[in-house]
């Protein structure tokens, strides 16, 4: 009896397999987290350092970079004006998103409010498929179908902002749609009942109650779509024409921040002004994605 009691105390005072597992688990988790934090900080530091080199080492003026449209870094520091690309990037992003939002809303409403289960499932699969197609394939489709179509209809080369917008439209649509669906699904079913019981029609209920209640989520969906449009490089580069010009119309060739990066990164030598200028573009993109993140956070906070 006393012997058994003794063994018990003994076991209680000893580390067991569970103790070790607990320790391993916590250590591995913590190490992974620390590793990722270091990685993110390193990336930001690296882009920041290289991105600022054009301004610190090569003495490019920040105002020139932001507001001048003269882009020819090989010719010297007064030709590092990214304004044309910044404007084009924003233009492409905004127009592609504007085009996609009505379709995304319609699809979202259709899929959450209307359809039979099976049709919803097929639509869901289609949207996921659209989201999963690699961007180079979209670019390829754009070059093959959209660019010649624009050439035929509007004349010119066909490469340009319009082609970029149309390609991006297809690419941001699934992002915005699936997040919109999540937002609409999050609206309590009792809102619908309450509205119908007051004699409101289906459409009044949807437009005034359901969409209104889902607005923060839908805004988040739109921001994510905009971020995708802003950040997409390859597909845009394939159809936009890659001429760094301030856009005057939608069908002349242009270049976005990202398309310029992908098309030029092989053509510059490390450490030169031309290379540093590209890093400055990268830094601008990083800051923009930070801004998108911030907006999403703010919207999320207002919701809660």
Partner 1 sequence: MEQYLTQIAPEQRSLETKNLNVYYGGTIHKLHDVSLQIPQNAITALIGASGSSKSTFLRSLNRMNDKVAKVTGQIIYAGIDINHKDINVYQLRKQIGMVFQRPNPFAKSIYDNITYALKANGVKDSAVLDQAVEDSLRAAALWDEVKDSLHKSALALSGGQQQRLCIARALAMKPDILLLDEPASALDPVSTAKLEETLKQLRDQYTMVMVTHNMQQASRISDYTAFFHMGNIVEYDRTEKIFTTPRVTLTEQYINGSFG
- As measured in angstroms, the least distance from the Cβ of 200 to partner 1 is 5
Q: With CB under 8 A as the contact rule, which of the stretches 30-38, 68-76, 110-118, 195-203 interacts with partner 1?
A: 195-203
The per-residue b/e assignment along 165-184, b for 16 or more CB within 10 angstroms, e otherwise, is bbbbbbbbbbbbbbbbbbbb
Q: For residue 226, give the H/E element and its range.
A: helix 215-231
- As measured in angstroms, the least distance from the Cβ of 197 to partner 1 is 4
Q: Which of 79, 140, 191, 292 binds partner 1 (CB under 8 A)?
A: 191
- As measured in angstroms, the least distance from the Cβ of 199 to partner 1 is 4
- As measured in angstroms, the least distance from the Cβ of 209 to partner 1 is 6
Query: What mask of x and - would describe binding to partner 1 in positions 204 to 223, judged by CB under 8 A?
Result: x---xx--xx----------
- As measured in angstroms, the least distance from the Cβ of 295 to partner 1 is 21
Q: For residue 265, give the H/E element and its range.
A: none
CB neighbour class for 48 (10 Å; exposed up to 12, middle 13-18, buried from 19): middle
CB 206 within 8 A of CB 180: no
Rounded Cα gap, residues 129 and 212, in angstroms: 29
Tell whether residue 260 is a contact of partner 1 (CB under 8 A).
no
Tell whether residue 47 is a contact of partner 1 (CB under 8 A).
no
Q: Is 144 helix (H, G, I), strand (E, B) or coil?
A: helix
Positions that interact with partner 1 (CB under 8 A): 188, 190-191, 193-201, 204, 208-209, 212-213
């Amino acid at each position: 009896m006393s012997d058994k009691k003794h063994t018990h105390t003994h076991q209680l005072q000893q580390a067991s397999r569970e103790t070790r597992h607990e320790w391993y688990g916590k250590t591995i988790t913590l190490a992974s987290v620390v590793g990722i934090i270091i990685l993110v900080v390193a990336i930001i530091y690296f882009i920041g350092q290289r991105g600022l080199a054009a301004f610190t080492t090569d003495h490019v003026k920040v105002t020139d970079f932001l507001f001048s449209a003269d882009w020819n870094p090989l010719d010297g520091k007064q030709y590092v004006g990214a304004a044309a690309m910044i404007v084009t990037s924003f233009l492409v992003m905004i127009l592609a998103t504007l085009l996609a939002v009505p379709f995304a809303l319609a699809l979202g409403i259709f899929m959450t409010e209307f359809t039979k289960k099976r049709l919803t499932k097929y639509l869901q699969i289609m949207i996921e498929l659209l989201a999963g197609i690699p961007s180079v394939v979209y670019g390829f489709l754009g070059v093959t179908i959209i660019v010649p179509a624009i050439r035929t209809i509007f004349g010119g080369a066909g490469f340009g902002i319009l082609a970029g917008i149309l390609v991006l439209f297809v690419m941001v649509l699934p992002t915005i749609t699936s997040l919109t669906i999540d937002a609409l699904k999050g609206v309590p079913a009792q809102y619908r009942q309450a509205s119908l019981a007051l004699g409101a029609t289906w459409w009044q209920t949807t437009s005034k109650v359901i969409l209104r209640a889902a607005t923060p989520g839908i805004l988040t969906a739109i921001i994510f779509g905009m971020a995708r449009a802003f950040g997409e490089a390859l597909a845009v580069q394939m159809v936009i024409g890659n001429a760094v010009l301030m856009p005057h119309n939608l069908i002349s060739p242009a270049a976005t921040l990202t398309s310029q990066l992908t098309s030029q990164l092989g053509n510059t030598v490390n450490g030169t002004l031309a290379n540093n200028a590209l890093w400055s573009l990268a830094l601008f993109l990083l800051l923009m994605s930070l801004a998108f993140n911030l907006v999403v956070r703010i919207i999320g906070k207002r919701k809660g």
